[in-house]
Amino acid sequence: MTLTGKSKVIVLVIAFVAICSLFALPCLAFTGKVVSVGAGDLMTVSANGATRQIRLYGVVCPLFGQPFHEKALFMTKFLSLQREVEITPVFKDNYGVENVLVRVEGSTGYLNYKLVGYGLAWVKPCDDKSRLCQEWKKLEGFAQMNFIGLWAQPPAIAPWDWQKAQRLMILDRMKAAEKKE
């Protein structure tokens, strides 16, 4: 069976709608204003009369207590706070927070990419398959090889490993306290 031009268009539109609904994503970018930055990769935007929390897709900035946390937070605020941004939703995480690509008005490139380039964010390992994340991974390698940002003070411990180590330290302290009792 051969599809005609009109049939091909209909099939593509149906496939596009199916993919968008499968991931429950709004398929269109929207604009908003960044009203607060909670962490280097987490911010609140105001759009269409409502505020919503968003997370930068594909990257993780240092967590509170980690080296370079304050610098990542400052850079995100400096580049985006009280500025208009174009937001492209990618997916919602388990907490209902939209993971998005953010492009600051008057700027080229995504904020996500810039933070990696400044050595203020890691590329998430689970997002390695996307073409964007593959490009960001190369940029992360460049920042690492040139000792930029968090890579200037080895060892740079990724937030997911740092959290695991923190939990283990807490468990060790609890076990030590139980032995004393």
Q: Residue 64's pLDDT is what?
A: 92
Q: Residue 43's pLDDT is what?
A: 96
pLDDT at position 115 over 60: yes
How far is residue 67 from each of residues 38, 61, 119, measured CA to CA in Å? 17, 10, 12
Query: Could you tell me if 73 and 22 are in contact, meaning their C-beta atoms sit under 8 angstroms apart?
Result: no
17-65 per-position pLDDT tens digit: 444 444 444 457 999 999 999 999 999 999 999 999 999 999 999 999 8
pLDDT at position 90 over 60: yes
Q: What number does CATH give the domain 18-154?
A: 2.40.50.90
Instruction: Tell me the whole-structure pTM to 2 decimals.
Output: 0.76
Domain boundaries, the chain: 18-154
Residues 6+ apart with CB under 8 A from 49: none
- Amino acid letter at 22? L
Which among 50, 35, 122 is positioned nearest to 80, based on CA atoms?
35
**pLDDT confidence of 6, banded at 50, 70, 90?**
low
**3-class SS letters over the chain:** CCCCHHHHHHHHHHHHHHHHHHCCCCCCCEEEEEEEEEECCEEEEEECCEEEEEEECCEECCCCCCCCHHHHHHHHHHHHCCCEEEEEEEEECCCCCEEEEEEECCCCCCHHHHHHHCCCCEECHHHCCCHHHHHHHHHHHHHHHCCCHHHHCCCCCCHHHHHHHHHHHHHHHHHHHHHHC
60-83 per-position pLDDT tens digit: 999 998 999 999 999 999 999 999
Q: Residue 177's pLDDT is what?
A: 73
Q: Greatest CA span in the chain, whole angstroms?
A: 79
Query: Could you tell me if 87 and 26 are in contact, meaning their C-beta atoms sit under 8 angstroms apart?
Result: no
Q: Residue 22's pLDDT is what?
A: 43
142-171 per-position pLDDT tens digit: 999 999 999 998 788 888 888 888 777 777
pLDDT at position 139 over 90: yes
